[in-house]
């Protein structure tokens, strides 16, 4: 056990200071924290790797008051990746409907923005827009954690939420 | 084709060694009977079934891949052109793993597997009125008006106290979509059945009529976490089709990229497995090490996840002396960190309590399923393309095979720890002896049709690629196979008997790709 504690002590705090803390923006309806429900609508899992990276000590997303939640009913923001496959359309619609208002929708990655490299396939709808209204788009294949943080800040703090 | 017979047990099948990797060849079969007979021979000669896929017009066919110690054998069964929905003999009777592959071919091409009793759809989910790949490229595919009206007939367990837990396709976390159906009594799982296909993006259809460079971008996006492996398998297939051999420097850089992908993924998995067993420390520590590695990737290769780094004919980035010494320094630091964390994992009673005897996949079951990769090696299946016959540069610095025998979560953790260490020492050898290199050469043109195969030991296991080119570098058909498709059925066997609450831990210790399975 002492080895584990020593390792924690030696590692120290790695979290990088960036931008203003999320809680200063106080957008109407979201209080001081933001809960995100992620839906993978058929991505290649590249975007998921960078979403995972947000939880590592360098980015420490949760220290800014942002957390990924397990239930759409607890969420403020629906974060969607992937080109929306035919098989995922129904699941995406149902998840969106379960998110209470005021809510926002953030499309992450080239595929979620416009279908990306898969856009001409019979099996995809070609972007989240084609199925549900989207408030914010973040292109990238995959977008970097810094870009993700900025997009989440933006979705959190600006423009009015989509109608519930 | 050379018809000399190296083994009495493999009549008419012979492989020629290749400088750039595993010996591999396609073997056209004249009739369904010879196809079936050859498949039986390959299987009984110890061949591991690696996948089965179809191709439509203008040369409809079924391809079936077997990996033997000698190399990769792909049987090709041409199908009649004019017959709608032609039949082919099912292999599921003696190769259970063929089931989902044959159902996929039926869903997508409409070819009917004769003798397959399972009539349920697989990746197609009955979404289309006609098999989408039976139509010419680019034509609209009519939807099935009855889609979604009937439930998928899962096999159910009945009896007092048995209940069912449906999970997915949307899971509680940052995970890909898929559906799991548990039959449970009390806390114990009696049966698990998967329904995948939610991420089916029509990859095989997208390859048709594209050029080689576009195909390379698609190949890099089969499963994001294996982008180097799929790109490399695709590049090998193109290079074999065009009879081109990349320079030694390119081969060494590709091998290095593949090891960086393996290390990054193993680090991520080790952290996530520890976290699922309740040790948040693991997620932070391994998350830190993985992030450090990704940042070095961006610094020296221009991309965190190495997308599009391997191209047919070459690689995108070369390394100067400064980069090499920086990567060597990173290598030493990472090795020290890994040894320290391995000790902490081993000494942690709570962690070992969750790991040991959880999610056991017995060696004999893994053998029967023909498994390889991390999951196979954790169940005593000694297959690793790099150690077995990787060609250059693996022959120069042969990596040792990591093996464990208990088949539980602890074994899969151990194999990952050992592989990171082996991977680091192999990478060090590559960096210290990097040949003079040009990073890319232009690949030759083809005046007639050409066909090629590629196979690579990705971080999960063998990644396979097949391409068929029409003249002048137009892709007529292509298929890339992630090992996940073979490993998903093994998860269904490892989970029953465990607690429902241990499923996330067992699942994480497999860490299979949905996208790579569904294509």
DSSP string, A49-101: HHHHHTTSTTT-GGGGTEEE-S-GGG-SEEEEES--BGGGHHHHHHHHHHSPS
Whether omega before B169 lies within 30 degrees of 0, making that bond cis, reads: yes
Q: What confidence tens digit (pLDDT) does each residue in B301-360 have?
A: 999 999 999 999 999 998 999 999 999 999 999 999 999 999 999 999 999 999 999 999
What is the number of alpha carbons within 13 Å of residue B412 lying toward its C-beta?
A: 37
The residue among A153, A136, A145 whose CA lies nearest residue A23 is A153
Nearest Cα residue in chain A from B223: A44
User: Judged by CB atoms within 8 Å, which residues 98-157 of B form the interface with A?
Assistant: 125, 127-128, 132, 138, 140-141, 143, 148
**Nearest-neighbour CA in chain A from B57: distance (Å):** 17
Q: What confidence tens digit (pLDDT) does each residue in B184-228 have?
A: 999 999 999 999 999 999 999 999 999 999 999 999 999 999 999
Instruction: Give yes or no for residue B13 having a pLDDT over 80.
Output: no
The verdict on a CB contact (< 8 Å) between B283 and A55 is yes
The residue among B375, B381, B388, B387 whose CA lies nearest residue B414 is B375
Q: In sequence order, what DSSP letters do the residues of B309-340 get, joined into one string?
A: -EETTEES----HHHHHHHHHHHHHHHHHHHH
Asked whether B73 and B35 are in contact (CB, 8 A), the reply is: no
Q: What confidence tens digit (pLDDT) does each residue in A33-88 have?
A: 789 999 999 999 999 999 999 999 999 888 878 889 999 999 999 999 999 999 99
ipTM: 0.90
The verdict on a CB contact (< 8 Å) between A85 and B513 is no
Mean pLDDT of chain B: 92
Instruction: Report how many Cβ contacts below 8 Å link chain A to chain B.
Output: 154
Predicted local distance difference test score (pLDDT) of residue A131? 95
Give me the mean pLDDT over the B432-449 stretch. Answer: 84
Lowest mean pLDDT among A150-159, B341-350, B437-446: A150-159
Give me the mean pLDDT over the A131-136 stretch. Answer: 94
What proportion of chain B, given as a percentage, has pLDDT over 70?
97
d(C-alpha B105, C-alpha B89), whole Å: 12
Q: pLDDT category, B464, cuts 50, 70, 90?
A: very high
Q: What is the pTM of this model?
A: 0.93
Q: pLDDT category, B388, cuts 50, 70, 90?
A: confident
The verdict on a CB contact (< 8 Å) between A58 and B291 is yes
Q: In sequence order, what DSSP letters do the residues of B118-157 get, joined into one string?
A: -----TTTT-BSS-GGGSPTT----B-TTTTSS-------
Q: A159 CB near a chain B CB, below 8 Å?
A: no
Give me the mean pLDDT over the B429-452 stretch. Answer: 87
The residue among B224, B298, B311, B318 whose CA lies nearest residue B511 is B224
Q: What confidence tens digit (pLDDT) does each residue in B172-182 have?
A: 889 999 999 99
Predicted local distance difference test score (pLDDT) of residue A23? 46
Asked whether B430 and B256 are in contact (CB, 8 A), the reply is: yes
The tokens for A18 are 């960036």
**Nearest-neighbour CA in chain B from A131: distance (Å):** 16
Give the bridge partners for A7, in sequence order.
none
Predicted local distance difference test score (pLDDT) of residue B468? 96
CB within 8 A of B506, min separation 6: which ones?
B358, B359, B409, B491, B494, B495, B498
CB within 8 A of B129, min separation 6: which ones?
B141, B142, B143, B144, B145
Q: B163 CB near a chain A CB, below 8 Å?
A: no
Q: What confidence tens digit (pLDDT) does each residue in B87-131 have?
A: 999 999 999 999 999 999 999 999 999 999 999 999 988 899 999
Residues of B in contact with A141 (CB under 8 A): 221, 307
């Amino acid at each position: 056990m002492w080895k584990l504690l020593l390792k924690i002590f030696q590692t120290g705090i790695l979290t990088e200071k960036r931008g203003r803390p999320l809680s200063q923006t106080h957008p109407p309806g979201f209080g001081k924290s933001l809960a995100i429900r992620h839906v993978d609508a058929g991505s290649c899992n590249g975007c998921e790797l960078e979403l995972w990276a947000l939880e590592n000590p360098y980015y420490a997303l949760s220290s800014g008051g942002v957390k990924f939640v397990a239930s759409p009913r607890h969420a403020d923001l629906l974060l969607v990746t992937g080109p929306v496959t035919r098989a995922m359309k129904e699941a995406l619609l149902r998840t969106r409907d379960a998110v209470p208002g005021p809510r926002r929708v953030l499309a992450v990655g080239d595929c979620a923005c416009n279908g990306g490299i898969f856009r001409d396939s019979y099996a995809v709808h070609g972007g989240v827009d084609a199925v549900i209204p989207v408030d914010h788009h973040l292109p990238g294949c995959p977008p970097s954690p810094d870009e993700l943080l900025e997009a989440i800040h933006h979705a959190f703090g600006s423009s009015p939420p989509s109608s519930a | 084709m050379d018809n000399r017979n190296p083994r009495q047990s493999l009549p008419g099948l012979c492989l020629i060694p290749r400088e750039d990797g595993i010996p591999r060849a396609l073997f056209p079969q004249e009739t369904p009977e010879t196809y079936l007979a050859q498949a039986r021979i390959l299987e009984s000669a110890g061949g591991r079934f690696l996948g089965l896929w179809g191709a439509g017009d203008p040369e409809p066919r079924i391809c079936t891949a077997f990996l033997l110690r000698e190399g990769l054998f792909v049987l090709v069964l041409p199908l009649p052109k004019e017959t709608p929905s032609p039949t082919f003999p099912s292999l599921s009777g003696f190769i259970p793993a063929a089931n989902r592959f044959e159902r996929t071919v039926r869903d997508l091409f409409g070819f009917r597997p004769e003798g397959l009793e399972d009539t349920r759809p697989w990746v197609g989910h009955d979404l289309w009125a006609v098999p989408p790949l039976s139509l010419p490229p680019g034509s609209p595919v009519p939807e099935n008006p009855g889609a979604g009206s009937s439930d998928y007939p899962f096999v159910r367990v009945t009896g007092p106290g048995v209940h069912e837990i449906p999970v997915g396709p949307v899971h509680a976390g940052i995970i890909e979509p898929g559906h799991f159906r548990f039959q449970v009594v009390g806390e114990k799982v009696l049966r698990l059945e998967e329904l995948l296909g939610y991420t089916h993006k029509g990859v095989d259809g997208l390859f048709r009529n594209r050029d080689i460079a576009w195909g390379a971008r698609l190949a890099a996006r089969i499963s994001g976490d294996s982008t180097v492996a799929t790109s490399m398998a695709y590049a090998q297939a193109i290079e074999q089709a065009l009879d081109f051999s990349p320079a030694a420097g390119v081969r060494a850089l590709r091998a290095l990229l593949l090891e960086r992908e393996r290390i990054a993924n193993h680090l991520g998995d080790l952290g996530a497995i520890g976290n699922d067993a309740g040790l948040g420390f693991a997620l932070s520590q391994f998350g830190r090490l993985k992030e450090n590695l990704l940042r070095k990737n961006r610094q020296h290769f221009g991309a965190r996840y190495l997308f599009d780094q391997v191209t047919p004919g070459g690689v995108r980035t070369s390394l100067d002396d400064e980069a090499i010494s920086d990567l060597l320094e990173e290598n030493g630091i990472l090795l020290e960190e890994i040894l320290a964390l391995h000790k902490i994992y081993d000494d942690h009673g709570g962690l070992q309590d969750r790991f040991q005897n959880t999610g056991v996949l017995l060696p004999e079951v893994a053998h029967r399923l023909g498994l390889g990769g991390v999951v196979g090696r954790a169940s005593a299946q000694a297959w690793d393309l790099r150690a077995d016959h990787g060609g250059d540069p693996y022959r120069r610095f042969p990596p040792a095979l990591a093996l464990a025998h208990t088949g539980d979560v602890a074994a899969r953790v151990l194999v990952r720890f050992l592989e990171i260490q082996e991977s680091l020492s192999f990478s060090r050898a590559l960096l210290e002896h990097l040949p003079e290199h040009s990073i890319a050469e232009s690949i030759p043109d083809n005046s007639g049709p050409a066909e090629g195969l590629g196979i690579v030991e990705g971080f999960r296991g063998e990644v396979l690629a097949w391409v068929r080119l029409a003249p002048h570098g137009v892709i007529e058909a292509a298929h890339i196979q992630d090992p996940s498709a073979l490993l998903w059925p093994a998860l269904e066997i490892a989970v029953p008997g465990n607690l429902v609450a241990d499923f996330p831990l067992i699942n994480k210790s497999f860490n299979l790709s949905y996208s790579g399975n569904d294509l």
